[in-house]
Amino acid sequence: MLQRLGRTATLLALTLVQVPVLVVAVVMLLLSFALGMVFLFPPQAIMVRRLAELNRRLVRRWTGIDIPSPYLPAPAPPVPQPDGMYRSERTLYKTPRVPAWNNRWKWLVSDPATWRDELWLLLDPPVKIALVPLFVLLSERGLRVYGLWSELLLAPTAASRLAGQVSHLQRTRNLAADSQAAEMRRIERDLHDGTQARLVAIGMTLGAVEQLVDDDPKAAKALLAKARDASSETLAELRRVIRGIHPPVLAERGLADAIRALAMDSVMQVTVDVELEHRPEAPVEAAVYFAVSELLSNAARHGDARRASVDISGNGPDLRVTVTDDGLGGADPAKGSGLSGIERRLAAFDGILALNSPPGGPTTVTMVLPNVLPGHWAGNLRGLPRWKTITLVVLWATAWCPTFPQGIVAGAFKAFGIDEKAWFLALHLPEPWQWPVIIAMTLIGLLMHVMAIRIPATHDRERFMEEASPLKPWC
């Protein structure tokens, strides 16, 4: 109880900081746009953003309502033209300082979250004061209502979510392109250094056979035997290259059998446990297959491991893969052990890799690929949490009171000079306080109605995004 009251007191004490910040922010805005002192706007926006971020952290810590940062991605640094000049609109500059400042100014001005922060700073102090009775009587519920109010203005907009997803997809595409280019270079190197060299040697051997077939048939037969052996080795090498591109067993029999085939070919004793009711998509299977193949190869080659285990399972829509070996340990992605390549391959699916490899072993690598399993067996999407259901019931049951009898109806009695005070709270107060209380009551009631509508709408939108998109939404 004391902890909740302390949190409430902290929120109210922050109002003493918000009010002077609001005054300074308004002055800086007026100077920026009314008097042309535009250099004041970026620091003003950053100041308000930091205060809003502090509020997001407090709400997340005290109420459990996670309000992600809503801001659009910052602009990239200016890139010089072929002549070494930097362009901003139609003007060229010798240094990137002015173009960078212009891009930053446009970024802050055009971001809807900037102006939502300004609106929040303006409205938050009176909202806190209006919620004081709820803070005192039901402190936990009051904090929850305040968290929903903060989410209303400080949560990401549709534009910022879309921009974040575009930026994330751009990075993922670049990583996938780099991984694919590295894979193509590896295949080209294998074909050039191995298969091509063997085919050239076979061609030269056959040429020698052609010259010796009449004069020295025995030597020709010996060379033909060498050519036959070389062709068998070349065929085996081509099969290895093909398996490195996309193994036939993976396409024909699925991930489980492909991993078991890897285990059988390994020099280690490998146990495989796969619990998947349905096959993932082909690109996901390929990513997991090559990741496991690389990990088993590293364990045998670098870790001197004798035993390993592979566990593949589903957790709702997420795919989880764990590879453990009894090797020497000490694996490090920075040492070129192939782990960085695995991370790039998983990044195309928003996958993450966790490594635990102390010196002396054992080594455990856990890979999680979110939202990649077929949705028809991934389980039901999460329903409305209990606290949201209770909040909705409370809002719909009480929102009418401040909106109509204590707000609109009391205002009508006050405007038309009706002497009947009844149970209208504002009309029992001193004259200077009546209109402010009536307006505050009306705003509180309207805010409660908006929150009651927004909570299920936001939840339904999140459920739709989870169902419609193979990737988790960006925050």
What is the predicted pLDDT for the residue at 176?
61
Pairing state of beta strands 307-315 and 318-325? antiparallel
Across all residues in the chain, what is the average pLDDT?
Answer: 81
| Amino acid code (one letter) for 213 | V
pLDDT more than 90, % of the chain = 9
Tell me the average pLDDT across 288-317: 87
Q: Which residues pair with 270 in a beta bridge?
A: 308
Higher-pLDDT residue of 23 and 157 is: 23
Q: 257: Cβ–Cβ under 8 A, 6 or more apart, which residues?
A: 249
CA distance readout (Å), 460 to 157, 382, 394, 463? 16, 10, 20, 5
* Domain ranges, ordered by start, for the chain: 2-72+111-156, 175-245, 254-375, 386-468
Three-state SS at 341: helix
| For residues 146-168, average pLDDT | 77
Query: Token pair for residue 104?
Result: 């930053």
The tokens describing 267, both together, are 């020099």
| Helix or strand holding residue 113 (H, E) | helix 112-130
C-alpha–C-alpha distance, residues 165 and 201, integer Å: 52
User: What are the angstrom distances between the C-alpha of 369 and each of 273, 289, 466?
Assistant: 18, 13, 14
Q: Specify the pLDDT at position 432.
A: 86
Cα separation, 157 vs 116, whole angstroms: 9
99, with CB counted inside 10 A (0-12, 13-18, 19+), is buried
How many whole angstroms separate alpha carbon 434 and alpha carbon 409?
Answer: 13
* pLDDT tens digits along 170-215: 666 666 666 666 666 767 776 777 777 778 888 888 888 888 877 7
CA-to-CA dists, residue 268 to 244, 272, 428, 444, angstroms: 20, 12, 85, 68
Q: What is the pLDDT of residue 421?
A: 76
Q: What was the pLDDT predicted at 181?
A: 63
Which residues are 87's β-sheet partners? 92
Say if residues 377 and 313 touch (Cβ distance below 8 Å). no
Q: Which residue is associated with the tokens 């349905």?
A: 278
Summarize the confidence of residues 153-177 as an average pLDDT: 69
Residue range 346-353: average pLDDT? 82
Q: Which residue would you say has higher pLDDT here, 56 or 423?
A: 56
Report d(CA 138, CA 133) in Å as an integer: 8
Phi-psi region of 382 (alpha: psi -120 to 50; beta: other; left: phi over 0): beta
Percent of the chain with pLDDT over 70: 85
Q: Are 395 and 375 in contact (CB under 8 A)?
A: no
Assign 463 a pLDDT band (cuts: 50, 70, 90). Answer: low
User: What residues contact 138, with CB distance under 8 A and at least 6 apart?
Assistant: none
Q: pLDDT category, 44, cuts 50, 70, 90?
A: very high
**What was the pLDDT predicted at 175?**
62
| Residue of higher predicted confidence among 176 and 438 | 438
Residue 274, helix vs strand vs coil: strand
Average pLDDT of the segment spanning 213-222: 81
Residues 6+ apart with CB under 8 A from 35: none
Using a 10 angstrom Cβ sphere, with 0-12 exposed, 13-18 middle and 19 or more buried, the burial of residue 29 is: middle
Q: Which of these, 108, 110, 138, lies nearest to 8 by C-alpha position?
A: 138
The residues near 455 (Cβ < 8 Å, ≥ 6 apart) are: 148, 388, 391, 392, 395
In this prediction the pTM is 0.46
pLDDT band at 395 (very low <50, low <70, confident <90, very high): confident
pLDDT at 377 over 80: no
Lowest-pLDDT choice from 170-174, 284-288, 382-386, 391-395: 170-174
pLDDT in tens, 65-112: 888 888 877 887 888 887 888 887 778 888 888 888 888 888 888 888
Domain 254-375 bears CATH identifier 3.30.565.10: yes
Confidence of residue 168 (pLDDT cuts 50, 70, 90): low
Average pLDDT over residues 314-319: 85
Q: What is the rounded radius of gyration, in angstroms, for the C-alpha atoms of the chain?
A: 33
**β-sheet bridge partners, residue 273:** 311
Res 460: pLDDT = 57
DSSP structural state of residue 79? -
322 pLDDT band, cuts 50/70/90, is: very high
Q: Please tell me the predicted confidence (pLDDT) of residue 159.
A: 66
